[in-house]
Amino acid sequence: MFTKAITKKPCRALIDGITTAMFDDGTPDYELAAKQHDNYVAVLRSLGLEVLDLDADERYPDSCFVEDPAVVTAEFAIITNPATDSRNGEKYEIIDAIKKFYSDDQIFHIEAPGTMEGGDVMLVDKHFFVGQSDRTNAEGFKQFEAIVSKFGYTAEAVPVTEGLHLKDFVIYLENNNMLVSAKMNEEPAFKDYNRFVIDADELYAINSMNINGTVLVPEGFPKTLKIIQDLGYPTILVNNSEFSKIDGSLTCLSLRF
């Protein structure tokens, strides 16, 4: 059960965010992104979460994607080591927010040469799947596993070969259900889950987000919406178009715990 979330307002420099245009191309419209972000925060609050919405930071174009510089659970927080130069400094900023909720002995760090971004980390009960991607390397995984094992969690590395982060291609919806890309459907790590393969033209909607039983689904992906609704989950549609232009999806806009 999530009770809290941390978010961070998009900055005007968002238009310079890193992008491979894997979902959508074009430049985000800052004003619209700010509105969409306010709505995202309002939806989390409507679901009962206490949300700390941090001020925008113009020094870091991608800093609204707070999921990447930290991984949080009920018991501990890990400050990651984001892989790209333009994002690495975000780890020094997120820590002030993390310290409002965690004591010093609950806060850990991934150190160079380890790299990690939270978009590669997917928790299923007490087991972490960790994407091995351009952003999260084997050393990052090794350090992560050593930390989480102290708290009774396990971790498993999964290759990410089709784009940015693990959770762009597989998401856990709870109740043993996963949304997967065609490629992740072949991944042995996920063989025991009920997998629902999302068509290539709706790839962006894999990153839907279960908040205490209600699933937030990006607007504009009717086939995925139907799959989620047919599974019996209540859904809320969220327009995330401006973030999708710089490879940002729903989970990346918050840390939930």
Q: What is the residue whose two structure tokens read 């990153």?
A: 207
CA nearest to 177, candidates 156, 196, 153:
196
225 makes contact with ligand CIR (CB under 6 A): no
- Can you say whether the dihedral through the CA atoms of 217, 222, 223, 228 is positive or negative? positive
**Segment near ligand CIR (CB under 6 A); pick from 7-15, 61-69, 99-107, 155-163:** 61-69
Question: Least Å distance between CB 256 and ligand CIR?
Answer: 12
Task: Name the residue nearer to ligand CIR (CB basis): 86 or 232.
Answer: 86
Tell me, rounded to whole angstroms, the distance of Cα 195 from its chain centroid: 19
28 makes contact with ligand CIR (CB under 6 A): no
Task: Name the residue nearer to ligand CIR (CB basis): 23 or 190.
Answer: 23
CA nearest to 87, candidates 104, 70, 72:
70
d(CA 31, CA 28): 9
Q: What is the residue whose two structure tokens read 């799959």?
A: 227
11 is catalytic: no
* Contact between residue 134 and residue 83 where contact means Cβ atoms under 8 Å apart: yes
Through-space distance between the first and last CA atoms of the chain, rounded to whole angstroms? 8
169 makes contact with ligand CIR (CB under 6 A): no
87 makes contact with ligand CIR (CB under 6 A): yes
d(CA 119, CA 60): 17
195 makes contact with ligand CIR (CB under 6 A): no
Choose which of 18, 124, 147, 236 interacts with ligand CIR (CB under 6 A). Answer: 18
Catalytic residue among 11, 37, 64, 252: 252
Tokens of 84: 């790209």
Query: Which amino acid is residue 71, in one-letter code?
Result: V
109 is catalytic: no
Query: Which amino acid is residue 204, in one-letter code?
Result: Y
249 makes contact with ligand CIR (CB under 6 A): yes
Task: Name the residue nearer to ligand CIR (CB basis): 119 or 140.
Answer: 119
Binding residues among 116-155 for ligand CIR as defined by CB under 6 A: 119
Question: Least Å distance between CB 158 and ligand CIR?
Answer: 15
Would you please indicate which residues are annotated as catalytic (active-site) residues? 165, 252
Judged by the rule CB under 6 A, the positions of this chain that interact with ligand CIR are 17-19, 62, 65, 67-68, 87, 119, 165, 246-249, 252
